[in-house]
Amino acid sequence: MEKPITNRLKVLYLTRWYPNRWDPMPGLFIQRHAEAAANWCDIGVVYAQQIDERLCEQQTYIIDYNEENNVPTAKIYYLSSKFKLFYINKLVNIFRYYRANLLGIKKLNRNLVASTLYIFTF
């Protein structure tokens, strides 16, 4: 007789493609994969997307947290930089992207009972 598995693998998806507020299709395969893996692992998904100011409600970061089909998901939308200098604009957007991912990871760590997360990137 097999012993039940008590230590479930903890997996965090950091993804650039995932269904979002404006388009439910990109990254649908990643969402389905996370839902399927949730039967055997503790799963969390962090998705960061750059948006322009007309979609942003005048905030730099918007965090949508919900649990979709037993998968805790943090979708972070961050404001696109509007600096006139190209290289500064790119640097600010890179910084905001990494900060958005960190905000999502912190949000998931508060809501998941996870001591260790193994990270897969797509």
Sheet with 9-15, side-by-side order of all strands: 61-68, 71-79, 41-51, 9-15, 118-121
* Beta-strand pair 41-51/9-15: parallel
Q: What is the pLDDT of residues 56-97, one digit of tens each?
A: 667 889 899 999 888 999 999 999 888 888 889 999 999 999
| Global pTM exceeds 0.85 | no
